């Protein structure tokens, strides 16, 4: 089953750094896709870009990180892109700000972590505790 960690926090809170650290501990890399890029494309172009990104993640042993920066008003479109993407990976990340609620509608297990209030060390300790509940061996197919 797929697991999505939604990392909430203001810009500069360390969401990507945290996800990159987690990926590194799993001997994987992180690949970031800013979803605002997809919102400016038509449906076919957006699907091609998304499929290329997902393929790149698989062949390069990367975990996907979907950055929702600058996407606050297009929740229905964001949900469409995320639903098409997150189910194909056992573990993925979404970087959001506190006002965004897109992940509550995803058809996969999501875990929300706020990085605005914890130090990086506290966040990593929280990841160890939360992550120990989910197997990630054989993370990419």
Express each pLDDT in 97-120 by its tens digit. Answer: 866 666 777 777 788 878 777 666
Distance from chain centroid for Cα 26: 15
Whole-angstrom Cα distance, residue 42 to residue 39?
8
SS3 state of residue 28: coil
pLDDT at 96: 86
**Single pTM value for the model:** 0.78
The tokens of 71 are what?
């996407």
From 76, 107, 84, 77, select the one nearest 3 (Cα to Cα): 107
Dump pLDDT digits (tens) for 26-83. Answer: 999 999 999 888 888 888 998 899 999 999 999 999 999 999 887 765 667 777 788 8
From 138, 90, 130, select the one nearest 7 (Cα to Cα): 130
């Amino acid at each position: 089953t797929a697991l999505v960690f939604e990392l909430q926090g203001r810009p500069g809170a360390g969401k990507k750094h945290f996800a990159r650290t987690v990926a590194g501990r799993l001997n994987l890399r992180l690949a970031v896709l800013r979803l605002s890029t997809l919102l400016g494309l038509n449906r076919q172009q957006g699907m091609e870009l998304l499929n290329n990104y997902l393929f790149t993640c698989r062949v390069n042993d990367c975990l996907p990180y979907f950055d929702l920066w600058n996407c606050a008003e297009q929740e229905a479109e964001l949900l469409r892109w995320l639903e098409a993407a997150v189910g194909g990976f056992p573990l993925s990340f979404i970087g959001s700000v506190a006002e965004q609620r897109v992940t509550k509608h995803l058809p996969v297990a999501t875990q929300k972590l706020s990085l605005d209030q914890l130090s990086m060390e506290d966040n990593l300790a929280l990841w160890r505790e939360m992550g120990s509940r989910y197997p990630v061996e054989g993370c990419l197919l």
